[in-house]
Amino acid sequence: MGYGRPVWSARATFAVVLGLWLASGAARAQDGGWRSAFELLASGPELGGSDIPRDVPKRRGSDASVVPPEVMARVLTEEGPRPVPTASAAESGPVVAPEAPEGGRVSEPRVRLTEDAPRPPFKPLPVAVAVVPGLLLHGLGAWAAGDPVTARGLFAAEATGLGLIAAGLVPIALTGASRKTIGPLYAVTLTGAGVFSLSMLANLYAVTSPAFDPGRVPDTLPPLELDLGYQYVHDASADYRNFFALGAVARLSKVRLQASARLAPEEGNALIRAGVAYRLWGAPERTLGLGDGTALDVEGVATYHRYPTEGFTLGGGEVSLKGRYAMERFGPRFAGAFVEGGVGLSAQAYSYPGRVEDDNLYGQLLYTFGYGVWLGRGGPLRGEAVLFYDHRKDGLVGGLRGRGGGMVGSFGLKGRVLLTERWGVAAEAQAGGALMGRLSLVYAVGGDT
Amino acid sequence: MSGTREGAVGAREAERALGGAGRGSARSRRVLGVMGLTAALLSTGCTRPGEDRAVRDTRVGQAEADALKVEVEGGLASVRTLASGTLELWGQAPVFTTRVTAGAEARTDWLFMVHNAMPDAVLDAVDAAGSPLDVVAMPDAHPTVKAWRVALRPGTEMRLTVAPPDWDARQPFRFAALADVQEALSKVGDIYAKLNEDPSLRFIFFAGDLTEFGTREQLEEFQQRLEADSRIPLYATLGNHETFTDDAREYQRLVGRGSQHFTFHGVHFSLVDSGSSTVDPLVEEALDGWLEEARDAVHVVAMHIPPLDPIGVRGGGFAVRNEAAGLVGKMARAGVDLTLYGHIHSYYSFSNAGIPAFISGGGGAIPERFDGVGRHFLAVDVDPSAGVRGVGLVRVD
């Protein structure tokens, strides 16, 4: 397994933890049974555990690992044996796994309550209720499944979404979409639309999830992934159709570098994007399993897009804040799911060949939200799939053409999964002003091999 | 629509791609089924919302009844009535020609009425051989409503041209640009009163959103108020609000084409349907022809939704910016002199691909606040030999 560069403080931490593990004597735990000093420490609040007896019901929103991800990342990135007794408030009781037989990893980096807890049974009726009238009343599915707590949460989310939509749209109408206020008001409206949409999808997930074992946050992701594939674009206003799709993602602790290219050999259309993301909060992507997938990134991307047949070139940059929230924090029915969102701004300029000049800089509000699931359950197969909305109007898809005057962006479904340690696939379908489908082969370099 | 088939391809691709991840697993197949269905549903969105309108545009100005076949060249007028010896048109250009083919059984005495005509328009009626028909002008009910008694000749094809006498003289003139009346229809008379104060204005070039919902009643009210209050005609393209009722079918019946082109005093004018935040390929093909026709002339292009909103965060332009950039680049390369837009209820002066551009949505619809501009229109001075000489903002309130 390839890990990041060792850190001296991490080694010191590892040494202290190892010493406690080896030297500890037995002690009487609060919830009964004899436990080592390390076990007590690991299950205490200092390292994210809990002194609360395990039969006390879990507190909502408390199941995030409170071990600072960077600390545990350092522990994990040490070479050699790693006692990784990850603890969290959601994982009451001893969490130290038995010694690994072959000197490798001694425990799974994350032991989940949901794997041990009895899962709610699947019932068809709540699924039907979640559709009609649940698509309008978002808690009804969970309520029909006998889960009033989740139902209340979903109703509250729906009401919040509708409230935010009203809080954004009404002032937009009253101000005539004034140039001085439209940015924040638009963001509020889109946030409302996002919360409303995601609570609707969560309602469906809450009643369908008992039918399958939820996916897991990948323990690790490779330091480098390359992808190569084919992308089809149907845009009634453009000549291009067929693209080579190339991409690369490099994960360096808290930093993620990414680049992609879409090249249409017949028309010469070339879209090149390169960017960097910095993880402000949450476990680094290479060691996602240290957390529950909840994260916040700041991202910057530069874009170059050449349209030879349409006669112009676009260049620009963008900055956005992107977050992901593990839905398990919202309730146990949402294990394996997450919601994500992003907000940002871009500035773009167009250049035209010949004597045509345009020195305008066009801004754009970037806004995305999506509902996703983790794919895989701890083995080499790992990835995610997301149903999403993207507000951007540039790129090869753009926004939905319609009577609203370009107000709405595009909708899509994307998935990326490593099937083995080395190979995987990525696929995407998106509908906006154009229709787009992509299928790529993914090759992982480094990582768990 | 074409998008559905292509979207299904995308859905199949997505399904194939994800198929590798869950081979042999019933659970994975269920997931794939849901994802594939979702992708297919997403793909049913239409990528050409203006296609039907563009097709219907080609039928504007055509009618057949009472052994009479009527076709307005370029669709520059809509046929309001063709029955009982009356041919009634709503003009959409200062100059237009109607080809009339009378069957052997056709009556000879016809009332030819044109609404929304230039105040000084006259009728030139000739048969296929070029010999003039007998024409008697009727008194004007309104400055922009013209009527003539015409003696048609059964069994022949005739051409009826309505135009001001000096229409083809290359000379400077002034016109008004306006858009977005919508729910302020009851107050639009204020704007016409202000327009009437300037006798040099020849017509109003209107960039869409005449009414709030584009219903027959609203469009008829718009036309009645125009005839009653305005001294000059109004040549329009439709806006997205006209599409709210039956995809602008009422607009096409009562007003005319969403996209059209005419010339006046040597200056070319193109009205382009962008009411669905896009220009349909059929319309763009027509525009290509108009751009070529006007390559060496002064050319003014108007459409309702601007390709690019100068306030990009608002995104009030086209849904797909690539299309917008390609369109304005094409117009720039063809030497378009001026672009006029509506949709945004304020006044903006900017440039797109170097072409001077104005948004003038000052017809009275919910105004953009904090901009210091209320209801307004533009007065545009244009010279066929020198280009656009000036664009002035005229406040109404």
What range does the domain containing B120 cover?
Answer: 54-163
Minimal Cα distance from B19: which residue of A?
A425
A411 touches chain B (CB under 8 A): yes
A48: left (phi over 0), alpha (psi -120 to 50) or beta: left
Per-position b or e across B189-205, b if 16+ CB within 10 A of its CB: eebbebbeeeeebbbbb
Q: State CA B161 to chain mean position distance.
A: 21
Pair (A22, A53) in one structural domain: yes
Pair (A107, A131) in one structural domain: no
Pair (A254, A382) in one structural domain: yes
Contacts of residue B284 in chain A, CB cutoff 8 Å? 237
Please indicate whether, in this complex, the C-beta atoms of B320 and A398 are within 8 angstroms of each other: yes
Q: Given B320, B332, B351, which is nearest A235 (Cβ)?
A: B320
The CATH number of residue B256's host domain is 3.60.21.10
Contacts of residue A395 in chain B, CB cutoff 8 Å? 322
Pair (B128, B157) in one structural domain: yes
In this prediction, residue A354 carries a pLDDT of 82
In this prediction, residue A38 carries a pLDDT of 37
Q: Given A305, A394, A400, which is nearest B45 (Cβ)?
A: A400
Q: Which two tokens stand for residue B175?
A: 């016109």
CB A345 within 8 A of CB A366: yes
Q: Given B7, B279, B312, which is nearest A431 (Cβ)?
A: B7
Q: Which of B163, B198, B229 is the last residue of a domain?
A: B163
Contacts of residue B26 in chain A, CB cutoff 8 Å? none
Is B159 contained in some domain? yes
Contacts of residue A393 in chain B, CB cutoff 8 Å? 315, 317-321
In this prediction, residue A121 carries a pLDDT of 85
Please indicate whether, in this complex, the C-beta atoms of A345 and B315 are within 8 angstroms of each other: no
Pair (A250, A293) in one structural domain: yes
Is B168 contained in some domain? no
Q: Which of A52, A87, A111 is the last residue of a domain?
A: A111
Pair (A235, A261) in one structural domain: yes
The CATH number of residue A298's host domain is 2.40.160.40
Please indicate whether, in this complex, the C-beta atoms of B322 and A394 are within 8 angstroms of each other: yes
Dist. CA B50–CA B278, nearest whole Å: 8
Pair (A239, A193) in one structural domain: no
Pair (A282, A384) in one structural domain: yes
Distance in Å, alpha carbon of A71 to nearest chain B alpha carbon: 33
Please indicate whether, in this complex, the C-beta atoms of B319 and A398 are within 8 angstroms of each other: yes
Q: Which two tokens stand for residue A17?
A: 């933890």
Pair (B38, B83) in one structural domain: no
CB A90 within 8 A of CB A63: yes
Pair (B221, B254) in one structural domain: yes
Minimal Cα distance from B275: which residue of A?
A403
Dist. CA B359–CA B348, nearest whole Å: 5
Dist. CA B381–CA B218, nearest whole Å: 31
Q: In total, how many domains does chain B have?
A: 3
CB count, 10 Å around CB of A275? 18
Q: Given A352, A405, A426, which is nearest B240 (Cβ)?
A: A405
Please indicate whether, in this complex, the C-beta atoms of B315 and A407 are within 8 angstroms of each other: yes
Q: Which of A76, A111, A146 is the last residue of a domain?
A: A111
397 residues of chain B, pLDDT tens digit each: 333 333 333 333 433 333 333 333 444 444 444 444 444 444 444 789 999 999 999 999 999 999 999 999 999 999 999 999 999 999 999 999 999 999 999 999 999 999 999 999 999 999 999 999 999 999 988 999 999 999 999 999 999 999 999 999 999 999 999 999 999 999 999 999 999 999 999 999 999 999 999 999 999 999 999 999 999 999 999 999 999 999 999 999 999 999 999 999 999 999 999 999 999 999 999 999 999 999 999 999 999 999 999 999 999 999 999 999 999 999 999 999 999 999 999 999 999 999 999 999 999 999 999 999 999 999 999 999 999 999 999 999 9
In this prediction, residue A447 carries a pLDDT of 67
A124 touches chain B (CB under 8 A): no
Distance in Å, alpha carbon of A348 to nearest chain B alpha carbon: 9
Return the SS3 of B74: helix
Compute the C-alpha angle A364/A358/A361, nearest 5°. 25
> Pairing relation of β-strands A34-36 and A224-234?
unpaired
What range does the domain containing A361 cover?
Answer: 224-445
Dist. CA B100–CA B114, nearest whole Å: 15
The DSSP letter of residue A121 is P
Pair (B317, B361) in one structural domain: yes
Q: Which of A111, A142, A175 is the last residue of a domain?
A: A111
Is B118 contained in some domain? yes
Is B279 contained in some domain? yes
Minimal Cα distance from A402: which residue of B?
B276
Q: Any idea how long chain A is? A: 449
Q: Any idea how long chain B is? A: 397
Interface test with A, best of B318, B322, B373 (most A CBs within 10 A): B322
Q: In total, how many domains does chain A have?
A: 3
Give the number of C-alpha atoms closer than 13 A to the C-alpha of residue B192, restricted to the C-beta side. 21
Pair (B190, B132) in one structural domain: no
Low-confidence ranges of chain A (pLDDT < 50): 1-114, 449
CB A222 within 8 A of CB A382: no
Dist. CA A426–CA A418, nearest whole Å: 9
CB B278 within 8 A of CB B318: yes
Pair (B337, B224) in one structural domain: yes
pLDDT in tens, A326-385: 999 998 999 999 999 999 999 999 999 887 888 788 999 999 999 999 999 988 899 999
Cis peptide before A81 (omega within 30 of 0): no
Pair (A74, A207) in one structural domain: no
Is A177 contained in some domain? yes
CB A413 within 8 A of CB A385: yes
Contacts of residue A440 in chain B, CB cutoff 8 Å? 17
Task: Give ipTM to 2 decimals.
Answer: 0.84
Query: With a CB-CB cutoff of 8 Å, which residues 286-345 of chain A face chain B?
Result: 305, 307, 310-312, 314, 345
In this prediction, residue A402 carries a pLDDT of 84
In this prediction, residue B55 carries a pLDDT of 97
Nearest to A86 by CA among A223, A222, A279, A219: A219
In this prediction, residue A73 carries a pLDDT of 44
Pair (B128, B37) in one structural domain: no
Sign for the pseudo-dihedral over CA of B276, B282, B288, B294: negative
Distance in Å, alpha carbon of A56 to nearest chain B alpha carbon: 33
Is A107 contained in some domain? yes
Is A219 contained in some domain? no
Pair (B17, B106) in one structural domain: no
Pair (A229, A313) in one structural domain: yes
Q: Which of B145, B163, B181 is the last residue of a domain?
A: B163
Q: Given B244, B320, B329, which is nearest A393 (Cβ)?
A: B320
Amino acid at B95: V
Pair (B143, B258) in one structural domain: no
Pair (B235, B307) in one structural domain: yes
Is B49 contained in some domain? no
Contacts of residue A122 in chain B, CB cutoff 8 Å? none
Contacts of residue A187 in chain B, CB cutoff 8 Å? none
In this prediction, residue A405 carries a pLDDT of 72
In this prediction, residue A113 carries a pLDDT of 44
Q: Given A176, A350, A365, which is nearest B366 (Cβ)?
A: A176
Dist. CA A415–CA A382, nearest whole Å: 11
Pair (A357, A413) in one structural domain: yes
Dist. CA A280–CA A297, nearest whole Å: 5
Pair (A140, A261) in one structural domain: no
Return the SS3 of A182: helix
Pair (B288, B149) in one structural domain: no
Nearest to A290 by CA among A299, A306, A279, A300: A279
Q: Given B6, B16, B49, which is nearest A401 (Cβ)?
A: B49
Global confidence as pTM: 0.82
Contacts of residue A434 in chain B, CB cutoff 8 Å? 47, 320
Q: Given A181, A358, A433, which is nearest B47 (Cβ)?
A: A433
Q: Which of B163, B187, B206 is the last residue of a domain?
A: B163
Is A116 contained in some domain? no
Dist. CA A313–CA A306, nearest whole Å: 4
Pair (B330, B225) in one structural domain: yes
Pair (A98, A183) in one structural domain: no
